[in-house]
Amino acid sequence: MYISRHMTTDPLTVHPSMLLPEARALLNDYHFRHLPVVDEHGVLVGMLTDRDLRSAYPSSVLSDSESRLVYERVEKTEVSEIMSPDCVSLTPDSTLDDALFMFDRDQMGAMPVVEDGQVVGIFSIRDLTAAYKLSFGVGEKGAVLIGLEDDGSKTIMTRIVTFLEKEEIPFSRVLRIRSKTDGDGIYLRINTFKIAAVLALLEDNGFTVKRFT
């Protein structure tokens, strides 16, 4: 669950002195939305986003003459003038939970990954989504998510796992989740195409399947 397993390594970077038209062309050519800005030693000094660039270019409500003036200014403007210098970053040892917290707190789309001062990767919201999808088995062949009522006992997790192993029901994840809205529950990632039989077997053995209406 570490960033190093899911980040994009050797990301494209730009120098602070690069002019905006060149940076914009890179974003467009590679379909990126974020570019780490590094100095001549590869040290992170800022982050440039497509939003920064859109803000720098002329608005559609400007007249032709006003737009030309803005374009002339933009063509001479360096990345350092519009980048975000105080960008947050991750390390390869950061966890997916660390990234989730920072994405939620700072409302950003991607973060550079830094090790020993050098940019070694970039980690985006899309990377986070893919990582959690992999971690929780979403999309695996035959994988089904089942919710069980949580009776609050200290042994329910042990009882569930023991039951699944005894009945040779293949499973890959068992999660206990507290929820004020949906009620506490145990969620199982079962790998089977006989879900109805599994549900019946669970209920016959004293477990209550969560029903959502």
Residue 213: inside a domain, yes or no?
no
C-alpha span between 109 and 123 (Å, rounded): 9
Q: Residues 136-151: pLDDT tens digits?
A: 777 777 788 889 999 8
The number of folded domains in the chain is: 2
What would the 3-class secondary structure string for the chain be? CEHHHCCEECCCCECCCCEHHHHHHHHHHHCCCEEEEECCCCEEEEEEEHHHHHHHCCCCCCCHHHHHHHHHHHCCCEHHHCCECCCCCECCCCEHHHHHHHHHHHCCCEEEEEECCEEEEEEEHHHHHHHHHHHCCCCCCCEEEEEEECCCCCCHHHHHHHHHHHCCCCEEEEEEECCCCCCCEEEEEEECCCHHHHHHHHHHCCCCECCCC
Q: Residues 148-174: pLDDT tens digits?
A: 999 888 899 999 999 999 999 888 888
C-alpha distances in Å from residue 39, one per residue of 53, 55, 85, 198, 211 = 20, 23, 12, 58, 56
Average pLDDT score over residue span 29-44: 92
Clarify whether residues 19 and 121 are in a common domain: yes
**How crowded is residue 188: how many other Cβ atoms within 10 Å of its Cβ?**
21
Clarify whether residues 32 and 125 are in a common domain: yes
Clarify whether residues 142 and 121 are in a common domain: no
Last residue of a domain, one of 116, 133, 150: 133
Residue 211: inside a domain, yes or no?
no
Residue 212: inside a domain, yes or no?
no
Clarify whether residues 93 and 155 are in a common domain: no
Clarify whether residues 86 and 183 are in a common domain: no
Residue 163 sits in a domain whose CATH number is: 3.30.70
* pLDDT beyond 60 at 130: yes
Residue 209: inside a domain, yes or no?
no
Task: Retrieve residue 148's tokens.
Answer: 């069980």
Residue 210: inside a domain, yes or no?
no
Last residue of a domain, one of 85, 113, 133: 133
Clarify whether residues 16 and 118 are in a common domain: yes
Which domain does 192 fall in, by range? 138-204
Q: What's the pLDDT at 7? A: 95
**How crowded is residue 123: how many other Cβ atoms within 10 Å of its Cβ?**
27
Q: At what angle do helices 125-135 and 96-106 cross, to 10 degrees?
A: 140
Residue 43 sits in a domain whose CATH number is: 3.10.580.10
Q: Is 136 exposed, middle or buried (0-12, 13-18, 19+ CB in 10 A)?
A: middle
Clarify whether residues 100 and 196 are in a common domain: no
Quick check: 160 and 205 in contact, CB under 8 A?
no
Residue 51: inside a domain, yes or no?
yes
Clarify whether residues 144 and 170 are in a common domain: yes
Clarify whether residues 124 and 196 are in a common domain: no
Clarify whether residues 107 and 58 are in a common domain: yes
C-alpha span between 34 and 86 (Å, rounded): 15
Average pLDDT of the chain, as a whole number: 88
Residue 59: inside a domain, yes or no?
yes
Q: What's the pLDDT at 61? A: 59
Clarify whether residues 10 and 63 are in a common domain: yes
Clarify whether residues 145 and 125 are in a common domain: no
Last residue of a domain, one of 108, 133, 158: 133
Q: Which of 12-16, 109-113, 133-137 has the lowest mean pLDDT?
A: 133-137
Q: Residues 71-81: pLDDT tens digits?
A: 678 788 999 99
